[in-house]
Amino acid sequence: MGTSKQRWRISFHKSPFKQPSFPKEFVCPISGSLMADPVIVSSGHTFERHCVHACKSLSFTPILPDGSIPDFSTIIPNLALKSTILNFCRSSLLDPPKPINFLTAENLVSSLMHTQKAQNLSSLRNRVLSHISTSSEESATPRSGPTRPSCYSSSSASDVDTLNTNSYEEDELVTKLKSSQVSEQEEAVIFFRKLTRTREETRVQFCTPRVLSALRVLITSRYASVQVNSVAALVNLSLENRNKVKIVRSGIVPPLIDVLKGGFQESQEHAAGAVFSLALDDQNKTALGVLGALPPLLHALRSESERTRHDSALALYHLSLVQSNRAKLVKLGAVQALLGMVKTGHVTGRVMLILCNLAASSEGRAAMLDGGAVECFVSMLRKGEFDSESSRENCIAALYGLSHGGLRFKGLAKEAAAEELLIQVEETGSERAKDKARKILEVLRQRDEEEEEVDWEKLLNSDDDISQSRISTSSS
């Protein structure tokens, strides 16, 4: 069976053309070629656009090499990846990829359909033969049932026995998770949550497409115990690094976001923890943003639950490390909301981390400068309104990010009397704070030729002049 699986993976990625070596994220899993028009689908996978259309046209859902099953219900252009691929081609002196036409994509998918059908039959045949050859041993050695996984093997146990035992336990678990009886569902998810709480090998063993598919249904259950324990079990699975991408690609994120939006309170706590855990993997950051995780995470920052607020803030921090998510957060009005939280002392330290990331992008800087961030941060530094030294350092780091805002920042900093305060920080702050304060002061003290003529009051009021000009124009 292992040989068949290996042969399937090779044939799935094989291309009729000899190509140079590319990062695997740049290659479409269906065509095996460099993507020219990549799109993200609902499950978080990325494909060449026409390959997705061909699959939908032929009503075919491929099983990917990692065992996951894509969901083609939604298609969103992956502009960030497209730009990355083009930059890679330019730096490698390669011609940019050309999109495959629909007919070619349809032929590829049609061929894959026949191949996958033949491999499924071969896999089934091998399982039957394996069962027949080991039936005598199984009758002599009673199974312990799904109370514990067989993550070890004795000197007398064969690889086939171990695989069969694992498969049996997975079958038992999936059967109970998919039961029509709520009591059996509840029993199964409580057991599964306990099973995956501390055992690393169990988390890896049971993070399979079948188990994830069953959990995907249960995490939106209207029964509190089923929903809470299902999401908690998902958190446990997500703790293993090798499971994180697999979970996102299983299509479980959209219902997880639904729980974060309107699930039971304890379920929302676990959902925020799950998104935070999944966001730690760089491959998941863009997908989580595309799949709609940002708005409910922002809303969850005002949750009554400290745990939900904490994990939501950390999730947003890691997601905002990606430029595409920074741009989305700015469009969602996150800057105004986050600055409002900082001004009221609401989760200041963690929110400041997110603002630091936003200040590193041009969109975030502009929104923060317009929103009064410079005055806000300088005021906080002057009053010492921080719960820890790290929060104070992050405030100065956010100011440093804003200092790349050119003349606009210099004008606002002068108006807020930031220079005197930064001199104090440079003398008495921590090493990190001193370094950032020194760099901000260097920016403020730079004298450009064009700056000699600057009227700071006029610059600060330029927005009002522009608004008045627009009003006059529209009136005429």
Give the H/E segment covering residue 340: helix 334-343
Q: 179-321 adopts what CATH topology? A: Leucine-rich Repeat Variant (1.25.10)
pTM for the model: 0.62
CATH 3.30.40.10 fits 24-120, yes or no: yes
- Residue 162 — very low, low, confident or very high, per pLDDT cuts 50/70/90? very low
Are 211 and 195 in contact, with CB atoms under 8 Å apart? no
Cα–Cα distance for residue pair 68/63, rounded to 1 Å: 6
Residue type, 161: D
The distance in angstroms from the start CA to the end CA of the chain is 79
pLDDT the model gives residue 244: 95
Q: What angle do CA 162, 167, 169 make, to 5 degrees?
A: 95
CATH class of 340-446: mainly alpha
Q: What is the mean pLDDT of residues 14-38?
A: 76
Token pair 């807020």 in the structure block, residue: 416
Q: Is the pLDDT reported for residue 252 higher than 50?
A: yes
> Which residues make up the CATH 1.25.10.10 domain(s) of the chain?
179-321, 340-446
* DSSP 8-state assignment for residue 406: T
Cα 417 to chain center, whole Å? 40
Between 294 and 385, name the one with better pLDDT. 294
Q: What is the mean pLDDT of residues 159-177?
A: 64
Return the HEC string of 203-250: HHHCCCHHHHHHHHHHCCCCCHHHHHHHHHHHHHHHCCHHHHHHHHHC
pLDDT the model gives residue 133: 41
> Which residues make up the CATH 3.30.40.10 domain(s) of the chain?
24-120
% of the chain surpassing 90 pLDDT: 44
Q: Is 181 helix (H, G, I), strand (E, B) or coil?
A: coil
pLDDT the model gives residue 279: 95
Cα 473 to chain center, whole Å? 46
Q: Is the pLDDT reported for residue 142 higher than 80?
A: no
Residue type, 457: E
Q: Can you spell out the DSSP letters for 11-37? A: HHH--SS------GGGB-TTT-SB-SS
Token pair 């929104």 in the structure block, residue: 367
Beta-carbon count within 10 A of 114 CB: 9
Cα–Cα distance for residue pair 456/141, rounded to 1 Å: 86
Which distant-in-sequence residues (6+ apart) come within 8 Å of 4 by Cβ? 119, 122, 123, 126
Using only C-alpha atoms, the chain has a radius of gyration, in whole angstroms, of 28
pLDDT tens per residue across span 61-116: 888 877 788 888 888 888 888 988 998 888 888 889 998 888 889 888 888 887 77
For residue 395 the two structure tokens come to 């405030």
Are 377 and 395 in contact, with CB atoms under 8 Å apart? yes
Cα–Cα distance for residue pair 176/188, rounded to 1 Å: 6
pLDDT tens per residue across span 282-312: 999 999 999 999 999 999 999 999 999 999 9
Cα–Cα distance for residue pair 433/233, rounded to 1 Å: 41
